Amino acid sequence: MARIVMKFGGTSVGDIERIKNVAQLVKKEVDAGNEVAVVVSAMSGETNKLVDYCRQIAPLHDAREYDAVVATGEQVTIGLLALALQEIGCNARSWCGWQIPIRTDGAHSKARIMEIDTELMLERMAQGQVPVIAGFQGIGPDNRITTLGRGGSDTSAVAMAAALHADRCDIYTDVDGVYTTDPRIVPKAKKLQKITYEEMLESASLGAKVLQTRSVEMAMKHRVRLQVRSTFAPDTPGTLVCDEDEIVEKELVSGIAYSRDEAKITLVKVSDRPGVAASIFGPLTDGNINVDMIVQNVSDDGKATDLTFTVAKGDLQRGVKLLEENKESLGFQDLIADANVVKISVIGVGMRSHAGVAQTMFKALADKGINIQVISTSEIKVSVLIAEEYTELALRALHTAYGLDAA
């Protein structure tokens, strides 16, 4: 007997038939003698709809009320799945985050889980009942509903698995595992049998939305055995996220991720003196705007510098406004904003010991005539910023260049 947390994403619970299908998958694990807790997302499209409602009423909405609205999608699916389970003779009960409770910090709309009370869950599971838990939500120190950021049900599931000391956390989704790149864009993408926590963390944070970044962080910290598998082909083996030493054959590059959530700002002719970067990024940091890639060029006359950097697309307008407001004191001549960019990243722990990974990337892009605007690297990744219209072309070219294409 094992204790398992099963998580089902939006598409997996996208309509009534699919919810019934999920109920069957859960029952199968229960019938096999396992103790099961289930975490579900909202039906696909629901959270987007709710977010849009908030935006229509108040573009810069109060995050507490946003959370009150967007958390409701999951309340519908826990109730429906509990009913579907009961209908097929499986003892089940639904749970909202606050009922457990799943305690989070107070960062509404992007809260972090601090603590989960497992007593009640363990008691019910021991009695043979399946808890059906709302993903994506918790309760903050102000006693109000919080949400964990988009895609947060993955994190709810992993946190639940860690707290319950589960043997496995299975993330059921609409693809049958983690691929070398998004299989919806590159048909030749290959499924990975295993991927290291580190590579999955890097891929997720660089845009591979198959798992929310924080869920991987948490799995790595608590050593949760995390598997990505398909709701629609449940017998197909998925991908295991695990330690590096569990992987025998390591590829140089394990994946290529992309993120369209990027925007580029260039400040033209900033005076080239000590302290200038600090004075520019200070107001952005104060405004809670994260700066990611940065490149600085000496301008033609050698007296000034052009500074280019990226921010999240959603922060672009606010960032531009903040900088323009401080134009005098920052002393730049022009500001150019560009939201038409994508960040493409090549990831692999093999890079630590092999040279030439970046060069392969630059050459493959050059061969397709794709201009690289900004570059950034770390120990296990190389990222470039390019024009958004080249996303698919670049992903496919890189996939081939690193020898990742499926036969």
Give whole-number Cα distances, 147 to 56, 80, 107, 117, 211, in Å.
Answer: 19, 20, 9, 17, 16
7 labeled part of a ligand binding site: yes
Give whole-number Cα distances, 260 to 120, 174, 207, 264, in Å.
Answer: 41, 21, 8, 11
Is residue 153 involved in binding ligand ASP (CB under 6 A)?
yes
The secondary structure of residue 333, as a DSSP letter, is: S
Binding residues among 96-155 for ligand ADP as defined by CB under 6 A? 151
Closest CB to Mg ion among 231 and 310? 231
179 labeled part of a ligand binding site: yes
Q: Which residue in 3, 20, 93, 150 binds ligand ASP (CB under 6 A)?
A: 150
Site track for ligand ASP across 308-337, x = CB under 6 A: ------------------------------
Angle between helices 197-205 and 213-222 (to 10 degrees): 160
Please return the burial class of 142, using the count of CB atoms within 10 Å of its CB with bins 0-12, 13-18 and 19+.
exposed
Q: Which two tokens stand for residue 159?
A: 């946190």
Is residue 138 involved in binding ligand ASP (CB under 6 A)?
no
61 binds, among ligand ADP, Mg ion, ligand ASP, none (CB under 5 to 8 A by kind): none
Is residue 210 involved in binding ligand ADP (CB under 6 A)?
yes
Closest CB to ligand ASP among 169 and 346? 169
Q: Which residue in 21, 34, 41, 305 binds ligand ADP (CB under 6 A)?
A: 41
Is residue 21 involved in binding ligand ASP (CB under 6 A)?
no
Whether the link from the prior residue into 101 is cis, omega within 30° of 0, is yes
Distance, CA of 140 to CA of 102 (rounded, Å)? 9
Give whole-number Cα distances, 65 to 50, 108, 109, 146, 285, in Å.
Answer: 11, 9, 10, 9, 25
Choices 19-27, 89-97, 152-160, 186-194 (CB under 6 A): range interacting with ligand ASP: 152-160
DSSP string over 214-233:
HHHHHHHHHT--EEEEESSS
DSSP-derived 3-state class of residue 310:
strand
Q: Which residue in 97, 152, 177, 348 binds ligand ASP (CB under 6 A)?
A: 152
184 labeled part of a ligand binding site: yes
First and final CA of the chain: distance in angstroms?
38
Site track for Mg ion across 96-135, x = CB under 5 A: ----------------------------------------
Closest CB to ligand ADP among 182 and 262? 182
At 228, the amino acid letter reads: V
Choices 9-17, 85-93, 113-121, 342-350 (CB under 6 A): range interacting with ligand ADP: 9-17
42 binds, among ligand ASP, Mg ion, ligand ADP, none (CB under 5 to 8 A by kind): ligand ASP
Q: Which residue in 92, 148, 166, 178 binds ligand ADP (CB under 6 A)?
A: 178
DSSP-derived 3-state class of residue 28:
helix
Site track for Mg ion across 129-168, x = CB under 5 A: ----------------------x-----------------
Please return the burial class of 343, using the count of CB atoms within 10 Å of its CB with bins 0-12, 13-18 and 19+.
buried
Distance, CA of 95 to CA of 361 (rounded, Å)? 47
Binding residues among 36-75 for ligand ASP as defined by CB under 6 A? 41-42, 47, 73
**Cα torsion angle, 25, 31, 34, 36, sign:** positive
Residues near ligand ASP (CB under 6 A), total? 13
Q: Which residue in 77, 94, 181, 254 binds ligand ADP (CB under 6 A)?
A: 181
Q: Which residue in 35, 182, 198, 251 binds ligand ADP (CB under 6 A)?
A: 182
Q: How far is CA 163 from the centre of its chain?
A: 21
356 labeled part of a ligand binding site: no
The distance of closest approach from Cβ of residue 322 to ligand ASP in the complex, given in angstroms and rounded to an integer, is: 27
Q: Which residue in 66, 136, 309, 332 binds ligand ASP (CB under 6 A)?
A: 136
Distance, CA of 238 to CA of 178 (rounded, Å)? 8
As a dihedral over the C-alpha atoms of residue 171, residue 174, residue 175, residue 176, rounded to 10 degrees, the angle is: 60
DSSP string over 29-84:
HHHTT-EEEEEE-PPTTHHHHHHHHHHHH-TT--HHHHHHHHTHHHHHHHHHHHHH
67 binds, among ligand ADP, ligand ASP, Mg ion, none (CB under 5 to 8 A by kind): none
Binding region for ligand ASP (CB under 6 A): 9-10, 41-42, 47, 73, 135-136, 150-154
Binding region for ligand ADP (CB under 6 A): 9-12, 41, 151, 173-175, 178-179, 181-184, 208-210, 255
Binding region for Mg ion (CB under 5 A): 9, 151
